[in-house]
A and B are shown apart, each in its own frame.
Chain A
Amino acid sequence: MGVSEFQVAIIGSGPAGLSAGARAAARGLSHLVLERSDGPCNTIFRFQKGKHVMAQPAHAPLRSELPFEDGRREDVLAAWHGRAEELGVNLLYNADVIGITGVAGAFTIALADGSEVTAAAVVLAVGLQGNLNTLRVPGAELEHVGYQLDDPDEYEHERISVIGAGDAAIENALALAAHNDVTIINRSGEFARAKKANESAVLAAIESGRLGVVYNANTQAVESDTLVLETPDGEARVPCERLIARLGAAPPRKLVEACGVSFPNEDRNALPEVSAKYESNVPGLYVVGALGGFPLIKQALNQGYEVIEHIIGEDVEPADTPLLREKLVAVPEWSVDAFLEAVRDRVPIFSELNGLVLRDTMLESDVHKFTDGETVLRRNDYTNSLYVVIEGAVCVHLDDEVPPKASVTLGQGAFFGEMGLISGRRRAATVSAVGDVLLLEVPRRRMIALRASVAAVRESMDREAIARSIQAHLAPGLDRESIDDIAATATIHSWAKGRVLFNEGEDGDSLHLIRSGSVLVRKKIGDHDVVLNYVAAGNCVGEMAMVSGEPRNATVAAAADCETIRIERDDFERLMDRHPSLREQIEGVRTARTAITERMAESPDQGSLIEFLVDQGGKEATDILLIDETLCVGCDNCERACAATHDKITRLDREAGPSYANMHVPTSCRHCEHPHCMSDCPPDAIKRAAEGEVYITDACIGCGNCQRNCPYGVIQMAEPTIGQRGWLASLVGGFGLSRAEVSEGPKQAVKCDMCMNLEGGPACVRACPTGAAIRVHPNEVIELITGES
């Protein structure tokens, strides 16, 4: 093995990679930055033109050779480019890395074109945007071949072919077809892979002749004005002046694994584990930036700097130490290191976190000190963070009495708040301090990420959570010893939306306690599949067969993604023996449900209405806007009220959205139990208030992820507004919506916040003259329909 060409090779020239390159250059390391595309920072380069890039988190210090502050994409890139040139960063473009072999001191990096680079250390900074699949046929390198479409309006009167059958291909083809002659090239005979709406749209366009199509076609070659295809009928030549191939993207996971780096689990969103020095399981191979779990530019820049220091062997105080110190102002007796130590030593669920993850967890968390009797969290609030006890103890009130009759004390190292976190529903208990207590409050998002990526956190939390759920929902008042052995054999199951938990007629061997999500109960009556009931988290299903011993009398399927705790029949029997009132409780549930079944079987329409509601968000909403079409006169005062109270932009579209049996569900936020919009917001700008309102803060950087993630299409990207037609004008001018004037500022995400800052509840509902618009918890409606009280 010869001497490596470079001391360090950096893969990817995003903010993380470029910052590492800049630091390496400044430190005089021999280095090479390998970039797959033909210019630096491909992810940011592809942001929409003129996009305002934000330097979040605002309070975090910047430590990088590269400058960075809020500004237009173009200016940010130009500043980096200038600085990189000044420092003499060694960049190699069109260098697509496909794998890494070797060990520390002698890595060999393989490129797609067959060449190789050797280096002593490697920094992997490829981000998360993935590898766009490309064509591998003669002519694929021609200039009129592209793999994405930024602005369909750029093209007119061209003959364009779009290869692909997924959503991206269909959306591109339809958008281009407005002004061009477009043919879509499909490798198979149908568009079943796409979203239903896209599938019908593309078929309609093909049928009406607006869009050409070639089915079962394999691309053979690209020529300057023709696309050559192989079809079952022989070779086909399609005139083609521009070719857009939407072949999907491979997640970088494959590449990362090809470098020898392992992932903690199979979860699609899992990230590789790294040490406090960003080193992966392969010594000498470092992972930084979005791929390391740090989704913002500033964090990526800082890590690029720090990782080079680590490689050199320099002991840098992490940039976040001053911030961590700030977290501890209320408890000056604690130093940062001592506190982190204490968290790891005392809190079992966090005992296996590595230093980096622990620091970062603490950075997002808050340290609280409570004195005797103070309330930490309140029953029925919608907050969903998790608390761990660092010092002292807390009392969990199991009933509403003051002081509580039934309560549990949790001491040092224990956690609480997991039920709200897992179910997304209201807090199940009030918790107060016993004596002085020191707590760490970890926000929901961080806990979800930890549970997904660190098996030890999930497992130790789940064991305890199962026992607590059984105690809370099935056997309140029963002591923990009598529950623990049953909890130990109970298992947790996840069900994707639509999956069947059990079928009618099957043997009833177990019971499911739903801990997150909800299910629909159906039964075949005659030829019809009738919806009998809807059961939400905190309740159980499958109990009937438990007490009757008969086979399942209905089919239960997940209405939303669900998690259930499954308890086997024998264990459940034991539990009922130990806690006789459980048998009564289950009998009660059984009687109530039998009555519902009878009622619902008589009016299958009601079941369809439930199904409609559940489908439109009832399965996960905490609050939904419903309009009674027999009362709505279409005056749009609701929209005007929304605009008037929300920066002149209405967050509700009354007319849009589906209807069933005169119940209309307009496009407006459902304030989901587990908001999809929150799942991928780089600055964590989306929050949940104690009353359940999901709202977006000013930290929004306008990336649009939430808009894409919301399944109900309720988020808009909007420019801030500066004015509006006056009051008098709207009176005289009649009935149109008042038009807002917009500024040229950066776009931000806006949505319904349920008027959390206004007295008297949502303005739309208050402003409806006829009473057609109401906002309710969907369970209220469903219970009215089933007749359950």
Chain B
Amino acid sequence: MAVAPMHDGFLVHKRFRYGWLALLLVGFVAAAFFYRDRLEGINVDLVFGYGLGGLALAIMLLLTWFGVRKRSYAKGAGPLKGWLSAHVYLGIALIFLVPMHGGFVIEPDIHGLAYVLVLITAFTGVLGIAFYGLYPRRVAANRDGLTFDDMVKRMAEVDIEIRGLSPKLSEAANDVVRGEVANLRIGGGVRMLFVKPRNRSRHAQMALHRLAIDNDAARRAEALLERKADVVDRLQRDIQMRSRLRVWLLLHVPLSLAALAVVISHGVGMLVFGLGSV
């Protein structure tokens, strides 16, 4: 809300400066591409092969350089936000430029591989942007002002209190409580990205409820487990969303490096062996 006027996100950075730039670039190249047959006195293969290819390679290098720029903390060279803004829009531009460079043809050779890798990289980037747009506000809402450590501490407090109740609980109730502690998993593992693990605290609370023990200690234990289950829910959502915010980069970065490597070897190959054929 009110913060918005102070903050200027990377997408809207400098009134979409790089968005416009990318749009212009793509528009210009697309126009040239569609009217390529009418362009006279111009070697179309040379322009779209070497010209556009060179441009795409330059953009690739710039995009990859972002990784270096992200880590050069002491140097000036403008805020990282501007770099990311350019990265995103030029990256999206690549999705359109690369197919035009290849004339919308994919063959099972090094050109094709470069083509596919660049596109996948770009798509993982788009996925990242989707996550960046979606999750931050959800994470904040889910946390409701608590930090991760606060939540863990809350769980620990419940655990201590439940342990204190143990002497006053029946054998069956104690089994449930012990089982909860032994089996509870908050997160971890790749599965977590897609489905939340079971909330064992919730299960235990319900199990305790089913035992229907009518004494103060059991009622208190149930209330405590319910409180813990709520925290577990929150924590699990938190971990899931925050993992999604990061995990795509684990695809994006290696893919981008692979793409760059293949693109470069494709380019070198074209320079060494291809020039003659034009």
Instruction: Report A's interface with B, CB cutoff 8 A.
Output: 204, 208-210, 605-606, 609, 626, 628-635, 637, 640-641, 644-645, 655-656, 658-659, 661-664, 727, 730-731, 734-735, 758-760, 763, 765-772, 774, 776, 780-781, 784-785
Contacts and interface: CB of A to CB of B under 8 A. Distances in A.
Contacts of B278: none
Given A630-B137, A634-B139, A770-B10, A645 B164 contact: no
A204 B80 contact: no
Interface stretch (B24-32, B71-79, B269-277): B71-79
Contacts of B148: 655
B97 interface: no
Given A609-B1, A629-B136, 17 more contacts: A609-B2, A630-B137, A631-B7, A634-B139, A634-B242, A637-B70, A644-B73, A655-B148, A663-B3, A731-B67, A763-B73, A766-B80, A768-B80, A768-B81, A770-B84, A771-B10, A784-B6
Most A CB contacts (10 A, CB to CB) among B7, B9, B70, B246 go to B7
Contacts of B36: none
B126 to A, nearest CB: 15
A532 to B, nearest CB: 15
B3 A662 contact: yes
A763 B157 CA distance: 38
A769 B70 contact: yes
Contact of B136 (A606, A633, A763, A781): A633
Contact of B140 (A659, A734, A780): A659
Interface residues on B, range: 35 or more
Most B CB contacts (10 A, CB to CB) among A635, A765, A769 go to A769
Contacts of A784: 2, 5-6
Nearest to A632: B136
A727 B72 CA distance: 10
14 contacts: A208-B160, A210-B160, A626-B6, A626-B7, A628-B7, A629-B137, A633-B131, A633-B135, A634-B245, A661-B3, A662-B1, A763-B73, A767-B80, A768-B81
A634 B13 CA distance: 19
A629 B141 CA distance: 9
Contact of B10 (A209, A634, A645, A769): A769
A730 B131 CA distance: 23
B4 interface: yes
A533 B245 CA distance: 38
Nearest to A760: B76
B112 to A, nearest CB: 29
A733 B6 CA distance: 34
Nearest to A755: B74
B73 A631 contact: no
B235 to A, nearest CB: 14
Give the top 9 A-B pairs by smallest Cβ distance, nearest first.
A629-B140, A760-B76, A641-B73, A628-B7, A771-B81, A644-B73, A630-B137, A759-B76, A208-B161
A731 B80 CA distance: 17
Contacts of B77: 760
A605 B160 CA distance: 39
A766 to B, nearest CB: 5
Interface string B71-103: 101111111110110000000000000000000
A656 B147 contact: yes
B132 interface: yes
Contacts of A631: 7, 9-10, 136
A633 B245 contact: yes
B2 A606 contact: yes
Contacts of B5: 784
Most A CB contacts (10 A, CB to CB) among B13, B74, B148 go to B74
Contact of A769 (B1, B84, B164): B84
Most B CB contacts (10 A, CB to CB) among A629, A633, A664, A763 go to A633
A661 B1 contact: yes
B8 interface: yes
B108 interface: no
A785 B147 contact: no
A767 B70 contact: yes
A55 B147 CA distance: 41
Contacts of B250: 734
A774 B5 CA distance: 12
B189 interface: no
A545 to B, nearest CB: 30
B78 to A, nearest CB: 8
B145 interface: yes
Nearest to A659: B145
Contacts of B76: 758-760, 766
B74 A644 contact: yes
Nearest to A643: B73
Contacts of A662: 1, 3, 137, 140
Interface in B156-181: 157, 160-161, 164
B7 A774 contact: yes
Interface string B117-137: 000000000000001100111
A674 B5 CA distance: 28
A731 B71 contact: yes
Contacts of B139: 629, 634
B163 to A, nearest CB: 10
A759 B79 CA distance: 11
Contacts of B161: 208-210
B245 A640 contact: no
A785 B2 contact: yes
A217 B76 CA distance: 63
Nearest to B132: A633
A770 B81 contact: yes
A637 B80 contact: yes
A175 to B, nearest CB: 15
Interface in B230-271: 242, 245-246, 250
Contacts of A759: 75-76
A629 B145 CA distance: 11
A656 B132 CA distance: 21
A398 to B, nearest CB: 33
Contacts of A640: 73
Most A CB contacts (10 A, CB to CB) among B5, B67, B70 go to B70
A304 B6 CA distance: 57
Contacts of B81: 768-771
A663 B140 CA distance: 10
A209 B80 CA distance: 50
Contacts of B7: 626, 628, 631, 771-772, 774
Contact of B74 (A609, A655, A663, A758): A758
Contact of B4 (A606, A628, A766, A768): A628
Given A629-B136, A766-B80, A771 B8 contact: yes
A210 B162 CA distance: 11
